[in-house]
Structure 1
Amino acid sequence: MGKPKNLTPAERSLRARIAVNTSWANTRDRSARTANGTASSPASLSYWEKRVDPDGEMDDATRAKAAENARSAHYQRMAYRAAQARKNKTP
């Protein structure tokens, strides 16, 4: 199937949704397919462990605690910035 020219935005969107659903329908192991993205997410503790101890020098307990602190700081920073944005928003 070639790429037709002159598709409307709605037609392109529909084709993309068809492709996505077909792809997921053919995926046997959904967890494996999303594992890299999940591990790369700031919601993942392993994401923060790699940032607080990139050389793997800390012991496991210390690395885990530092990662939890880094993740907490990240979400607190986001909350602070959101509060500032709401405060500075022009009514």
Structure 2
Amino acid sequence: MPETPLKLAAQQLVAASLADLTPEGRAQRTAAARAQGPGSLQYWAKRVDPNQVLDETERTRRAQEEKTAYFRRIASGRKKAREADAA
């Protein structure tokens, strides 16, 4: 007899929770997504030099600068939001 969608969803939640019990389990499952996100230097290297015409040193330097600028913009926005909430 097939499972109901509700029972299936509950089973999937339990399975996901059990898989997350070990740090390496979650790390392995999310590694590809994290590598493609803004926290990754590879992400910024692709953005600053999509055609890979720069040498590796210059590409890495520019990627690091872009990454730093991105996170500083986020921090600045959060600071402004906190100040607006406090006012």
Structure 1: 5+ residue runs without aligned partners?
none
Please give the per-residue CA displacement for 1:33-90, whole angstroms capped at 9, x wherever unaligned.
3221121121110011111111111110000000000000001001110111111115
Q: Percent identity?
A: 30
Residue of structure 2 aligned with 1:64, choices 54, 60, 74: 60
1:40 and 2:36 equivalent? yes
RMSD: 2.6
User: Helix, strand or coil for the counterpart of 1:88?
Assistant: helix
Q: Which residue of 2 aligns with 1:49?
A: 45
More helix by share: 2
* Displacement after TM superposition at 1:4 (Å): 5.0
TM alignment of 1:1-91, pairs within 5 A: 1-3=2-4, 15-22=11-18, 24=19, 30=25, 31-89=27-85
TM-score (norm 2): 0.74
User: Helix, strand or coil for the counterpart of 2:39?
Assistant: coil
Structure 2: 5+ residue runs without aligned partners?
none
TM-score (norm 1): 0.71
* Displacement after TM superposition at 1:17 (Å): 2.8
**What CA distance in whole angstroms lies between the structure 1 residues aligned with 2:5 and 2:35?**
37
User: Helix, strand or coil for the counterpart of 1:89?
Assistant: helix
Deviation beyond 2 Å, 4+ runs, structure 1: 14-17, 29-35
